[in-house]
Amino acid sequence: MLVLECRNVFKKIGHHVIVSDLSFSLNEGDILGFIGPNGAGKTTSIKMMVGLQSLSGGSIKIFGYDIRKDFTKAIRQVGAIVENPDMYMYLTGYENLKIAASFYQIDASRIDEVVRMVGLEGRIHEKVKNYSLGMRQRLGIAASILHHPKLLILDEPLNGLDPEGIRELKDILLRLAHEDKMAIIVSSHILSELESFCNRVCIFSRGHVLKNATIEEIKKITEKEVYQLEVSSTKLDSILSSYLVIDEAHIELSSTKENIVNILKALLLNDVLVYEVKKKVLGLEDVFLKVMEASHDF
């Protein structure tokens, strides 16, 4: 089921265009990695989705409700942490959740449920000032999902987390997507982590979408694949026209599967021994850099 639909979203401040023609959609159960360089317009786009900034043009619909025409109905479907989770540090985690629950007339049983979901049962009655950053992030998510939103938006939630905190956060988000069918947007610069739990990626630059696809689709951005070779010599200028020297025994090159055979022949005929050939698995960071280079925005 369609949860979020952005169509030709446009944001202009004075003469400066912040977001231009932002269009993408998100279904229930999807986890979308929202990525792009600093200044790409990601946070501005998120703020428009949650009503913290107005649209200059286009439309945003959340669960069928237009953010401008039916703001109250649309925003009831959203849970969000924009930039940092706001908490009362001198109160306990449970007291913070009680305040958040009062906005939605939610009873104590739901508070207990979300506390279990984010794994804070043993620390929920301690003051937030004693929480680690990861615990504060989990508490922020608990507050954001109290009212059973259809869409959860998290702006840079992985920043500053240690590996254990990142793993715990990923587990929570995967559970929310798979069990509660929640659609989730995660903005982050930690691309290797996004790749491990997002099923969709939106690459964003200068206010518009460069690529919007599944993780599998977005890794197939080029017909050529990258191969890594272990060889007896890296002095190959007369044999290969283009390659990258990794170290004195390893090179990397782009080639189609069919042409790699011809390359190996050429190396062997020129007395270059090839000890190993393996196809490099492109990570999300590799794909991101290729997309940005192709767009001349990076």
Q: Are 184 and 173 in contact (CB under 8 A)?
A: yes
pTM of the entire structure? Answer: 0.82
Strand partners, 11: 19
Q: Tell me, what DSSP letter sits at residue 288?
A: H
Q: What is the pLDDT of residue 131?
A: 94
On the question of pLDDT at 3 being above 60, the answer is: yes
Choice among 12-16, 63-67, 74-78, 292-296 with the minimum mean pLDDT: 292-296
Q: Are 126 and 95 in contact (CB under 8 A)?
A: no
On the question of pLDDT at 293 being above 80, the answer is: no
Alpha-carbon separation of residue 86 from 21, 97, 137, 185, 273 (angstroms): 31, 12, 10, 19, 60
Q: Tell me, what DSSP letter sits at residue 168?
A: H
Dump pLDDT digits (tens) for 51-72: 999 999 999 999 999 999 999 9
On the question of pLDDT at 99 being above 90, the answer is: yes
Q: What is the mean pLDDT of residues 253-280?
A: 87
Q: Are 252 and 226 in contact (CB under 8 A)?
A: yes
Choice among 35-49, 130-144, 221-235 with the minimum mean pLDDT: 221-235
On the question of pLDDT at 218 being above 70, the answer is: yes
Q: What is the pLDDT of residue 122?
A: 93
SS3 100: helix
On the question of pLDDT at 234 being above 80, the answer is: no
SS3 17: strand
Q: Are 22 and 48 in contact (CB under 8 A)?
A: no
Mean pLDDT of the chain: 88
On the question of pLDDT at 111 being above 60, the answer is: yes
Dump pLDDT digits (tens) for 126-153: 999 999 988 999 999 999 999 999 999 9
Q: What is the pLDDT of residue 247?
A: 83
Structural domains of the chain ordered from first start: 2-218 (3.40.50.300), 225-281 (3.30.70)
